């Protein structure tokens, strides 16, 4: 009976069957297709090509647009954690009871229905890397999710993406045991990683009956030590960036630099380290640890061959979230090529986050995530006119009444 | 002492001589005069800090320095009707109403925020105290000339300091748990009413004295400023977000007859018609475009389309940066985003310039390119509302204050070491009243 039902369904169009047709279709993995069509079946891309070459299934819903591109990926955000209202009850991005808490899972706190998640979806952002933010030495885990869905299970792509850490001034308020100086912060994180190494050895060599008791904090760090998960470290000033590079080398772990306002002053060192960067929002206000931020950093990183992606970051006040597309637009206006910026927002971000098998480009077999625009996506006066996620038109784009 | 005065005098003379005496002709430019049609291949001539020629085929004085713009764009310098550049400090925590405070006493004109504003094309600006008070003090209108003292940047010196308005606020920013601050909206309005009634009584005493020094009331700096307000000589710049708070401002305006500009007006879309119906005492609205709603409860319903709603209702609408809430360097982006959400291009251009000039009462001097007006202009590489366009040059009264080709200026546009070394740390700002929105 069950088998019959399934086959009956496969004969009719599913809710996640849709075709997107655009004057300019940017696949990112290949070249731009004039008057192109993407056919999505059951949420996955089934076919792609010139409209004249594609045979559409009868009755399929067609979404039209001027410009279409793969759904945009926000490289690092706290959306779904730092909610719209900015009241105590909707702020989950940092827990200040202790300075080091890698065991805090992102899936336990993500609110896929926060209005700001929807706000981003309306603007073509289909995937976010979000979770515990800056503000504690080790603040917790991050996840990767689509910007639609009612529950975390429905929307999550990677439930344990990275472990978030921070160096610099902002971590000094995280509880009575928070580090009071930069050297202390480095000493604390070193000690923690050493403890995790010792715990890992015990787990690895012990016979079943001698195994140490489970320790979720250590288990999280073991994943970092085994290079199964990156340690994402927010650091802006040169001294803190150098600290990140030092930790990566000392423990042979994969570190990813987050923020990195001074990156343009350390191009040679970062290049030599092989570390990737999730660069600060370009329109962040230049002050405090970010006083040196430079709109030309993305162009400089690209020229040096340092892998980087864009982010919307964390905002304590207004705007409560930034829009990664708008931040990236400032890079296009300051020396990074149009094509490279589109790539960085899509396939580049997917590769750095390790989700290129599912999203980031318009290729057969990948998720049907598409952003539609009235014109050049980077122009300030261009509007997002539709967002498709998993083959569902989840937004008609930015509304004039927004 | 004598010698230093002489030096000052000599420097003064030199500065006077340096004031642009030789005419400069900008030729072959796409000129957006704001009031009047664009000129596709126009010429703009300036001399002595003023515009002396504007047209398609006008004669250029023989001694003029020619600046062939090769098709680049000229528009008036931008007017920002609400900013906190210069790292000023307004009223302190001692009381919710402090009309005697002058922001001009604390502005550092050498702060890099002023250089960044010049890089963003802002030539005239209303610098305000913060919104943490019902009334946080007197604002100051500046021209962003190059200078080392507030006197050199102020639009105009007056008997009591400098030309400016009066900053007020309602809603939640001006509420505090501590001290004599209000705890509710009704209490806020009540304290403001009391203060204006006091000012009316003070004004009556002055009138009664009819110039007789013996009958004049004792001087009161706060009351003097408030009398200027109720006599319409000093405009109230009123921070307000929620629809009901906006209506409260209109109610108080009607009762006391002051002239007011509504600032931020996050829910303008809900009460645009009421703002229009309020009459001439409500000069208009100065709005902010932030990248997302929320961050504070009062702005959770903010809309990008506020500009479009105000335009449709016929309300005079300007934009502001509220720097550091939005960055002066991309002020033009605010106008572009308003177009994105339904404002007309023409009205958005005006909102960046002449409308803002009207909101601060300086439209006779700035806000459009016309003969006799101040030579405040921008040279742009392309369309003012494109992300790809660069502000190449900013001119104030015939002097170039920003030149993108000069590396020491350029960094104030792009950022980098030294471009923001004296801005306040974020955590300082959160405690500081200038975190204003």
> In chain A, where are the structural domains located?
13-70+361-402, 72-359
Indicate the pairing of strand B166-169 with strand B140-143. Answer: unpaired
Alpha helix (H) ranges present in B124-220? Answer: 150-153, 185-209
Q: How confident is the model at residue B11 (pLDDT cuts 50, 70, 90)?
A: very low
Of A338, A398, A352, the C-alpha closest to A371 is A398
Which pLDDT does position A174 carry in this prediction? 78
In terms of Cα–Cα distance, which of A49, A80, A101, A72 is closest to A314?
A80
Residues 361-380 of B with CB under 8 A from A: none
For the four alpha carbons of B78, B84, B90 and B96, in that order, the dihedral sign comes to positive
Tell whether the model's pLDDT for residue B401 goes beyond 80: yes
Nearest by CB: A402 against B296, B304, B333? B304
State the residue for tokens 């300019």: A24
Name chain B contacts of A330, Cβ cutoff 8 Å. 330, 387
Quote the mean pLDDT of chain A: 95
Does the beta-carbon distance from B340 to A320 stay under 8 Å?
no
Name the CATH architecture for the domain at A72-359.
Alpha-Beta Barrel (3.20)
Q: Are A387 and A127 in contact (CB under 8 A)?
A: no
In angstroms, the Cα distances linking A174 to A95, A99, A101, B61 are 8, 6, 11, 67
Mean pLDDT of A3-14: 51
For residue A19, what are its two tokens?
A: 């075709």
- How far is the C-alpha of A126 from the C-alpha of A73, rounded, in Å? 6
**For a pLDDT cut of 90, what percent of chain B falls above it?**
89
Interface test with A, best of B294, B296, B349, B437 (most A CBs within 10 A): B294
**Is 70 exceeded by the pLDDT of residue B33?**
yes
- H/E segment holding residue A105: none
**pLDDT for A149 beyond 60:** yes
Q: Is the peptide bond before A28 cis (omega within 30 degrees of 0)?
A: no
* Longest distance between any two alpha carbons in chain A, whole Å: 67
Q: Are A380 and B340 in contact (CB under 8 A)?
A: yes
pLDDT band at B424 (very low <50, low <70, confident <90, very high): low
Q: Does B342 touch chain A (CB under 8 A)?
A: yes
Quote the mean pLDDT of chain B: 93
Taking residue A346's Cβ as centre, other Cβ atoms within 10 Å add up to 29
Answer yes or no: is pLDDT of B2 > 60: no
Question: What letters, b where the CB count within 10 A reaches 16 and e where it falls short, cover B83-98?
Answer: bbbbbbbbbeeebbbb
Phi/psi for A142 (5° steps) reads -120, 165
What contacts A231, CB < 8 A, 6 or more positions away?
A162, A163, A165, A224, A247, A248, A253, A254, A255, A256
CA–CA dist A206, A186 (Å, integer): 30
**Which chain A residue has its CA at the smallest distance from B391's CA?**
A333
Where helices occur in A14-128 by DSSP H, the ranges are 115-121
B160 versus A360: the higher-pLDDT residue is A360
Which of A196-210, B10-24, B134-148 is predicted with the least confidence, judged by mean pLDDT? B10-24
CB atoms within 10 A of CB B377: 26
CA-to-CA dists, residue B295 to A85, A269, A375, B428, angstroms: 6, 37, 30, 18
Contacts of B299 in chain A (CB under 8 A): 318
> Which 3 state secondary structure label does DSSP give B95?
coil
- Alpha-helical runs (H) found in B144-294: 150-153, 185-209, 221-230, 243-256, 268-277
d(CA A273, CA A252): 11
d(CA B325, CA B356): 18
Query: In the predicted model, what is the mean pLDDT of residues A317-346?
Result: 97
Residue tagged 């910007």 (tokens)? A147
Q: Could you say which DSSP state residue A57 is in?
A: P
In sequence order, the 6+-apart residues with CB closer than 8 A to the CB of A67 are: A22, A23, A24, A26, A372, A373, A374, A375, A376, A377
Query: In B, which residues are within 8 Å of A84 by CB distance?
Result: 293-295, 300
Q: Is the peptide bond before A319 cis (omega within 30 degrees of 0)?
A: yes
Q: How confident is the model at residue B19 (pLDDT cuts 50, 70, 90)?
A: low
Give the residue among B144, B142, B192 at the shortest CA–CA distance from B162. Answer: B142
Chain A touched by B401 (CB under 8 Å) = no
Residue of A nearest to B413 (CA): A295
Q: Considering only residues A201 and B11, tell me which one the structure prediction assigns the higher pLDDT.
A: A201
pLDDT of residue B160: 74
Tens of pLDDT, residue by residue over A237-287, are: 999 999 999 999 999 999 999 999 999 999 999 999 999 999 999 999 999
Structural tokens at position A297: 């950093």
pLDDT-derived band at B294 (thresholds 50, 70, 90) equals very high
Mutant choice from A292, A319, A322, A338 vs B, greatest count of B C-beta within 10 A: A319
Pairwise CB contact (< 8 Å): A86 & B294: yes
d(CA B67, CA B355): 29
- Write out pLDDT tens, residues A171-227: 998 778 999 999 999 999 999 999 999 999 999 887 777 889 999 999 999 999 999
CA B69 vs. chain centroid, Å, equals 29
- Residues of chain A with Cβ-Cβ distance to B113 below 8 Å are none
Interface test with B, best of A86, A114, A318 (most B CBs within 10 A): A318
Q: What is the pLDDT of residue B178?
A: 80
- Residue A322: which of A130, A57, A155 has the closest Cα? A130
Residue B296 exposure: Cα atoms within 13 Å on the Cβ side: 16
CA A163, distance to chain mean position in Å, is 13
CA distance B389 to chain A (A): 7
Rounded distance between C-alpha atoms, residue A271 and residue A275, angstroms: 7
Residue B301 to residues A122, A375, A384, B246, B408, Cα–Cα distance (Å): 16, 27, 20, 14, 41
CB contact under 8 A, B387 and A333: yes
CA atoms within 13 A on the CB side of A240: 27
Task: State the pLDDT at residue A159.
Answer: 98
The answer, yes or no, to whether residue B16 has pLDDT greater than 50, is no
Cβ of residue B272 closer than 8 Å to a chain A Cβ: no
**A265:B417 CB<8 A:** yes
Q: How many CB atoms lie within 10 A of CB A102?
A: 27
| Alpha-carbon span B396 to B374, nearest angstrom | 8
> What is the CB neighbour count within 10 angstroms for residue A400?
12
**What is the Cα–Cα distance from B394 to A206, expressed in whole angstroms?**
71
Query: Which CATH number applies to B78-366?
Result: 3.20.20.140
Contact with chain A for residue B387, Cβ under 8 A: yes
Q: How far is CA A153 from CA A75, A133, A284, B1, in A?
A: 20, 21, 32, 78
The helix/strand/coil state of B340 is: helix
Task: Flag if B430 and A398 touch (Cβ within 8 Å).
Answer: no
B239 interface with A at CB cutoff 8 Å: no
Q: Answer yes or no: are the C-beta atoms of A125 and A146 closer than 8 Å.
A: no
Contact residues on chain B for A79, CB-CB shorter than 8 A: none
| Residue B305 touches chain A, beta carbons under 8 Å | yes
CA-CA distance, A341 to B265, in Å (whole number)? 35
B292 with A379: Cβ contact below 8 A: no
Distances (CA, A) of B203 to A333, B165, B224, B398: 55, 18, 8, 41
C-beta atoms of B333 and A333 within 8 A: no
Using the beta-carbon criterion (under 8 Å), do A264 and B416 form an inter-chain contact?
yes
- List of chain B residues whose C-beta atoms are within 8 Å of the C-beta of residue A293: 415, 420
Chain A positions touching B305 (Cβ under 8 A) are 400-402
Beta carbons of B308 and A400 less than 8 Å apart: yes
Q: Please compute Rg for chain B using Cα positions.
A: 22
Q: What is the pLDDT of residue B419?
A: 96
pLDDT digits (tens, 9 = 90+) for A352-392: 999 999 999 999 999 999 999 999 999 999 999 999 999 99
Name the closest residue on chain A to residue B326, using Cα atoms: A285
CA distances from B41 to A43, B53, B70, B391 (A): 53, 14, 9, 19
Residues of B with Cβ-Cβ distance to A264 under 8 angstroms: 416
Give rounded-to-5 percent helix, strand, coil for chain B: 35, 20, 45
Angle formed by the axes of helices B345-352 and B331-340, nearest 10°: 150
Cβ atoms within 10 Å of A213's Cβ, excluding its own: 5
Q: Does B213 touch chain A (CB under 8 A)?
A: no
Look at residue B220 and tell me whether its pLDDT is greater than 80.
Answer: yes
With CB atoms and an 8 Å threshold, state whether A400 touches B342: yes
* Residues within 8 A of A (CB atoms), B 32-61 only: none
The fold adopted by the segment(s) A13-70+361-402 is Urease, subunit C; domain 1 (2.30.40)
Chain B residues lying within 8 Å of A319, measured CB to CB: 290-295
Average pLDDT over residues A308-337: 97
Chain A positions touching B430 (Cβ under 8 A) are: 316-317
Residue A296: closest CA among chain B residues belongs to which residue? B414
Which tokens hold the place of A228? 């199964």
Residue B292 touches partner A, C-beta closer than 8 Å? yes
Distance CA B116, CA B114 (A): 5
Band (A10; pLDDT cuts 50, 70, 90):
very low
Tell me what the mean pLDDT of segment B174-189 comes to. 93
| Average pLDDT score over residue span B380-395 | 98
Q: Which of A293, A333, A381 sits opposite B385 (nearest CB)?
A: A381
pLDDT at B366: 98
Give the confidence band of A12 by pLDDT, cuts at 50, 70, 90.
low
B241/chain A closest Cα distance in angstroms: 14
B340 in contact with A, Cβ within 8 Å: yes
- Specify whether the CB–CB gap between B350 and B383 falls below 8 A: no
Alpha-carbon distance of A153 to B290, in angstroms, equals 32
Q: Is the dihedral of CA B277, B282, B286, B291 positive or negative?
A: negative
d(CA B324, CA B87): 10
Portion of chain A with pLDDT greater than 90, in percent: 91
Yes or no, beta carbons of A402 and B342 under 8 Å apart: no
Contacts of B297 in chain A (CB under 8 A): 85-87
Q: Which two tokens stand for residue A107?
A: 């899936």
Nearest CB neighbour to A320, from listed B292, B427, B435: B292
How far apart are alpha carbons B435 and B437 in whole angstroms?
A: 6
Both tokens of B169, joined, read 């606020």
CA separation for the pair A393, A372 (Å, rounded): 11
Residue with tokens 């494109």, as numbered in its chain: B386
pLDDT tier, B436 (very low <50, low <70, confident <90, very high otherwise): low
Tokens of B82: 């609400």
Return d(Cα A63, Cα A47) in angstroms, integer.
15
* CB of A334 closer than 8 Å to CB of A345: no
- Phi, psi (deg, nearest 5) at residue A341: -70, -40
**Which of B87, B295, B310 would best serve as a mutation to test chain A binding (most A beta carbons within 10 A)?**
B295
Which of A8-22, A224-238, B332-346 is predicted least confidently? A8-22
B175 membership: H or E segment, kind and range: none
């Amino acid at each position: 009976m069950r088998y019959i039902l399934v086959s009956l369904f496969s004969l009719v169009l599913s809710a996640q069957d849709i075709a997107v047709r655009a004057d300019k279709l940017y696949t990112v993995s290949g070249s731009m297709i004039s008057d192109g069509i993407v056919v999505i079946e059951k949420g996955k891309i089934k076919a792609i090509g010139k409209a004249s070459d594609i045979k559409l299934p009868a009755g399929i819903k067609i979404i039209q647009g001027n410009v279409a591109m793969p759904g945009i990926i926000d490289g690092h955000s706290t959306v779904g954690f730092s909610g719209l209202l900015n009241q105590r009850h909707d702020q989950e991005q940092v827990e200040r009871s202790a300075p080091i808490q890698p065991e805090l899972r992102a899936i336990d706190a993500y609110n896929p229905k926060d209005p700001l998640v929807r706000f981003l979806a309306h603007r073509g952002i289909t995937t976010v890397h979000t979770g515990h933010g800056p503000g504690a030495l080790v603040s917790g885990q991050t996840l990767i999710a689509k910007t639609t869905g009612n529950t975390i299970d429905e929307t999550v792509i990677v439930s344990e993406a990275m472990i978030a850490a921070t160096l610099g001034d902002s971590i000094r308020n995280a509880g009575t045991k928070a580090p009071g100086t930069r050297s202390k912060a480095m000493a604390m994180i070193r000690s923690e990683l050493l403890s995790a190494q010792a715990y890992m050895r015990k787990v690895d060599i012990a016979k079943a009956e001698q195994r140490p008791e489970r320790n979720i904090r250590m288990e999280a760090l073991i994943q970092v030590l085994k290079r199964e998960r990156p340690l994402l470290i927010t650091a802006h000033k040169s001294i803190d960036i150098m600290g990140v590079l030092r930790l990566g080398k000392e423990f042979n772990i994969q570190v990813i630099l987050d923020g990195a306002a001074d990156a343009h002053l350390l191009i040679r060192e970062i290049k030599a380290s092989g570390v990737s960067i999730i660069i600060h929002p370009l329109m962040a206000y230049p002050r405090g640890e970010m006083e040196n931020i430079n709109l030309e950093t993305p162009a400089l990183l690209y020229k040096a061959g340092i892998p980087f992606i864009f982010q919307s970051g964390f905002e304590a006040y207004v705007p409560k979230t930034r829009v990664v597309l708008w931040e990236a637009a400032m890079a296009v206006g300051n020396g990074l090529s149009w094509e490279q910026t589109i790539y960085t927002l899509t396939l580049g971000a997917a590769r750095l986050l390790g989700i290129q098998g599912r999203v980031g480009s318009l290729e057969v077999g990948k998720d049907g995530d598409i952003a539609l625009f009235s014109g050049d996506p980077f122009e300030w006066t261009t509007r997002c006119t539709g967002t498709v996620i998993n083959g569902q038109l989840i937004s008609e784009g930015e509304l004039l009444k927004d | 002492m004598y010698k230093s005065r002489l030096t000052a005098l000599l420097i003064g003379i030199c500065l006077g001589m340096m004031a642009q005496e030789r005419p400069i002709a900008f030729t072959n430019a796409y000129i957006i005069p704001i009031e009047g049609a664009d000129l596709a291949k126009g010429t703009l001539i300036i001399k002595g800090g003023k515009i002396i020629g504007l047209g398609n085929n006008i004669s250029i004085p023989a001694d003029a320095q020619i600046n062939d713009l090769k098709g680049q764009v000229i528009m008036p310098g931008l007017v920002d009707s609400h900013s906190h550049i210069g790292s000023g400090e307004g009223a302190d925590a001692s009381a919710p109403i402090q009309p005697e405070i002058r922001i001009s006493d604390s502005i550092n004109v050498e702060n890099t925020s002023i250089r960044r504003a010049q890089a963003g094309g802002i030539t005239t600006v209303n610098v305000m105290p913060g919104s943490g008070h019902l009334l946080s003090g007197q604002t100051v209108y500046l021209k962003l000339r190059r200078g080392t003292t507030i006197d050199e940047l102020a639009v105009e010196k007056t008997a009591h300091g400098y030309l400016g308005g009066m900053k007020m606020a309602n809603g939640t920013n001006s509420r505090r748990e501590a001290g004599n601050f209000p705890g509710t909206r009704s209490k806020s309005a009540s304290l403001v009413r009391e203060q204006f009634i006091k000012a009316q009584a003070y004004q009556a005493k002055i009138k009664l004295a009819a110039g007789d020094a013996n009958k004049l009331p004792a001087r009161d700096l706060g009351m003097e400023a408030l009398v200027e307000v109720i006599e319409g000589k000093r405009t109230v710049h009123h921070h307000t977000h929620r629809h009901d708070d906006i209506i409260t401002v209109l109610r108080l305006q009607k009762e006391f007859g002051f002239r007011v500009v509504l600032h931020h007006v996050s829910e303008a879309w809900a009460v645009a018609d009421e703002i229009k119906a309020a009459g001439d005492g409500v000069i208009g609205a100065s709005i902010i475009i932030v990248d997302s709603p929320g961050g504070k409860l009062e702005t959770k319903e903010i809309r990008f389309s506020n500009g479009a709603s105000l335009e449709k209702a016929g309300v005079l609408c300007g934009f502001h940066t509220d720097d550091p809430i939005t960055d002066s360097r991309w002020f033009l982006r605010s106008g572009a985003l308003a177009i994105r959400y339904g404002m007309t291009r023409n009205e958005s251009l005006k909102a960046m310039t002449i409308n803002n000039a009207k909101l601060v009462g300086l439209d006779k001097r700035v806000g459009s390119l016309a003969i006799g007006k101040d030579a405040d202009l921008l040279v742009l590489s392309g369309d003012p509302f494109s992300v790809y366009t660069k502000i190449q040059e900013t001119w104030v009264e015939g002097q170039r204050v920003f030149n993108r080709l000069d590396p020491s200026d350029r960094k104030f546009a792009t950022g980098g070491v030294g471009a923001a070394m004296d801005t306040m740390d974020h955590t300082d700002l959160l405690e500081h009243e200038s975190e204003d929105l």
